[in-house]
């Protein structure tokens, strides 16, 4: 079993959904981003999602784009990602997934990227802009290294697409709550619940919902039907506006939503 799936199962055994927390690497600087990720782990996050800054972040909303642009301006380099993962995994057992656009992986070298991520203690990749049928090189590298590969499913995905995503994903399926870029929304689309149901029908055992989740109440709602909730913008905003102390407080508050009314599984 992968470390990511084990973290989700541990949360389930505790009677709650998993909390996946996203932060960009290198924001506001490399050392602070490392401490910020550790802060997530210390305050209720079950899986850390790290985003290397990218010059063309087509899925990112304004708050995350602002942060990643600042990280690039401050001189972020790919080597910094592995430095960060190594430092974070030395400080916590919470698994670290890297949320990355595909071009940086391709340019770095797929096998080299996988080997360096594994050596740093990383758990795998979330790849928002590559689909399983064209990800053969990454699938082979992940099978060789044991890294998780998390693909995305959207409300518009066909049944054939869901079959492909479910069969190719490990750890969990990243379930897109609504069409569009990341950010906060007052209400999550009903499409998220429907999509998770469809994923279950296609054999998905782990589905975590992301995009638009920003409150403990929304996490509680997602917990009724999914295995976990993914939060990014609210955490990045907290770090931007109040530094590590504010990030810790917001993380603890969001984590209260994971309990909801989920029953603890019988042994």
Cite the active site residues.
49, 60
DSSP category for residue 262? P
Beta strands in 25-72 (DSSP E): 47-51
Quote the tokens at residue 125. 């990749």
Contacts 24+ apart (CB under 8 A), 249-253: 251/21, 251/39, 251/40, 251/43, 251/44, 251/45, 252/43, 252/44, 253/216
121 and 156 in contact (C-beta within 8 Å)? no
Contacts 24+ apart (CB under 8 A), 190-197: 191/155, 192/155, 192/222, 192/226, 193/225, 194/155, 195/153, 195/154, 195/155, 195/157, 196/225, 196/226, 197/225
First to last CA, the chain: 19
Burial, 139: exposed, middle or buried (Cβ in 10 Å; 0-12, 13-18, 19+)?
A: middle
Quote the tokens at residue 14. 């505790």
Distance CA 183, CA 63 (A): 8
Quote the tokens at residue 48. 């850390």
């Amino acid at each position: 079993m992968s470390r990511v799936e084990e973290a989700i199962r541990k949360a389930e055994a505790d009677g709650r959904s998993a909390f996946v927390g996203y932060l960009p690497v290198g924001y506001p600087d490399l050392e602070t981003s490392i401490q910020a990720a550790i802060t997530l782990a210390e305050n209720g996050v079950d899986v850390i999602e790290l985003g290397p800054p990218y010059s063309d972040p087509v899925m990112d909303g304004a708050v995350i784009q602002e942060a990643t642009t600042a990280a690039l301006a401050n001189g972020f380099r790919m080597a910094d990602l592995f430095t960060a993962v190594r430092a974070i995994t030395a400080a916590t057992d919470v698994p670290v997934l890297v949320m990355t656009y595909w071009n940086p992986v391709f340019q770095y070298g797929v096998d080299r990227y996988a080997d360096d991520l594994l050596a740093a203690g990383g758990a795998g990749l979330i790849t928002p802009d590559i689909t399983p049928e064209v990800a053969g090189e990454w699938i082979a590298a992940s099978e060789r290294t044991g890294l998780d590969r998390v693909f995305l499913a959207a409300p518009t995905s066909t049944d054939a697409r869901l079959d492909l995503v479910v069969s190719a994903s490990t750890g969990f399926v990243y379930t897109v709550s609504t069409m569009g870029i990341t950010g906060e929304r007052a209400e999550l689309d009903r499409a998220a619940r429907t999509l998770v149901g469809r994923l279950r029908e296609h054999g998905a055992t782990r589905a975590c919902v992301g995009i638009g989740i920003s409150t403990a109440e929304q996490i509680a709602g997602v917990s009724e039907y999914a295995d976990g909730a993914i939060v990014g913008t609210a955490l990045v905003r907290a770090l931007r506006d109040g530094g590590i102390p504010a990030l810790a407080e917001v993380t603890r508050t969001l984590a209260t939503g994971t309990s909801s009314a989920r029953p603890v599984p019988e042994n």
